[in-house]
Each structure stands twice: as structure tokens, then as C-alpha cells.
Amino acid sequence: MNVLRSIDDIRSQVRQWRQAGLRVGVVPTMGALHKGHLSLVEAALLGCDRVVATIFVNPLQFGPADDFRIYPRDEATDARKLDEKGCHALFAPSEAEMFPDGITALKDFKTVVHVSQLTEGLCGAFRPGHFDGVTTIVAKLFGIVQPDAAYFGEKDYQQLLVIRRMCRDLNIPVEVVPVPTVRESDGLAMSSRNQYLSPEERHIAPLLYQTLRGVAERLTAGDDKLDSTLSNARRALLDAGFTKVDYITAADVETLEPLESLKRLKSGARVFAAAWLGQTRLIDNVPAT
């Protein structure tokens, strides 16, 4: 596997592949790779002739209170995992390569990609500017790598829809491919931030998935008392030891509009939650219909 750090080098590599008539896929990551990330690489290898993984801890998507400085970084281990999976290239640029003007704060960035509506609820309501940081850096990566397809996990379902919408609205010729959430044996969605959890918190964490599944099962069975079902689910998480629940809600799978009842269902529903265990924020979602 080639490890490339400059924009010129990754463009040159992809250009050679394209000239050979090969289909190129990209897996954008911030490193600290786990089985969830590697499942994206596996999906890309099935759908493409050549696969590029990117590792870049993006400062634009972190707020002032977020964990940018302590976000886990272990490029050597990540590179080994990617190589063992058969990834063809790793693009791991420096901040200086991605931001030659030295601007790494979203508020100071001169060009920002903003997707409206889809970013207003769920995590967007609790992390102002986060999705602008995501879409701006992903647009840059797409422009640099110029892939045919990009692979994103359904654990970050809102992000998946936002990036898909960005590509549609800006006519970016990249197929955005969803990949199902990979979970631990007890149901906890795999995340780089899971390593922040203490042993006690790790014991509690799978209850988030279990609670979401319970809500989804009630909705699938035709439960029309959505408000009380969600309220009870929130209380169950807090009683179990979660320190704060940002949201737990059911929403339309395409618009992310909250469902007031099953009568408003348009294209299917998912149940979404974001909750805190100590200093660690966990997100998850499951299909409801």
C-alpha cells in the first residue's frame, strides 16, 4: 500500500488508475481505525478496482468544547490495518497540506460548504457548525482524490445524508455508498470514541442500542403513542446511568423530519439518539420500518 501525503502525489496516482480504466473508491476517515472503518474498506474493495483511504483529523468539524487535541491518533497502526485489508493507497496529509493559508478554524475559513435543512436537527442542533466542517473537508477530499464512489457508515446516518445531498446539489460525480453499522458483540456501535469510556461506562453503553431497538420495535408494531414512548426511553437511559440525553427521536429516513406520529411517515423511519456517558458522547440509530 502506498502512503501518500501530498495532493499532487495522490492526484498523480489516481490519474494513473483512471488512465488504466479502473474504478476508484475512497474511504474518508479521521483515523483510530476499528472494524467499522475496515468494513467500509471491504465494501469499497468489492465495488471498486482501487481503494484510497484517507486519514485526516479535521479541525473544521470540532467545536471549542470538542476533543480535537486529544482525538486518538495512531497512523502506524492504522496503516498496518489498511494494508492487511488490501487497501491500495493511504492519503494522510498534514494540516499545512490541506490548509496552506494556515486557517484551521471554521469561523475564519473563507469558503464553507453548507447544506441546509438536513443539518438543522439531531446532532446539528447540538454541534453548531459541525456539519459545515464535515461537508467542507469532504468536498475538498472529493476534489483532491476525484473518486467514483465514497463509502460512509450508517452509524453517522445524518452525515451520510448530508454528504449525499451535497453531491447531488453541487453535481459532484461521486456515488455515496452507505455501509451498515458494525457493532460489538453486545450491540454497542463501534466508534473511535469508545476508548474514552471507563470500564463502568463501557458496561452501560450497550443500553443505548437496546433502548433504540425497543422504540423501533414498538413503532414497527404500530405504536401510536410516540411522545410517551420516546419520553420513557429517555428516562430509561438516564436511570441506567447516562449522564445526559441530547435527543432520542424518530425521524423520516430521507428528510430527517421528526415524526409526530406514524401518519406522517413518508419513506420509512429510523430512531436516532445521542447520549452522554461522562465526557463521552455516543450516537446511534436503527431502522424502525
Question: Which among 34, 37, 130, 203 is annotated as catalytic?
Answer: 37
Q: Catalytic site residue 88?
A: no
| Pairwise CA distance, residues 278 & 289, whole Å | 32
| Pairwise CA distance, residues 234 & 13, whole Å | 49
| Pairwise CA distance, residues 147 & 18, whole Å | 10
Contact (CB, 8 A) for 288 and 215: yes
Sequence-ordered list of residues with C-beta below 8 angstroms from that of 118, at least 6 positions apart, any chain? 124, 131, 158, 161, 162, 165, 255, 256
Identity of the amino acid at 123? C
C-alpha cell at 271: 430512531
Secondary structure of residue 141 in the 3-state scheme:
helix
Secondary structure of residue 217 in the 3-state scheme:
helix
Secondary structure of residue 189 in the 3-state scheme:
strand
User: What single string gives the DSSP state of each residue in 39-63?
Assistant: HHHHHHHHH-SEEEEEE---GGG--
| Pairwise CA distance, residues 86 & 197, whole Å | 31
Phi, psi of 176, deg, nearest 5: -95, 115
Strands 269-277 and 244-252, bridge-based pairing: antiparallel
Secondary structure of residue 215 in the 3-state scheme:
helix
Active site residues: 37
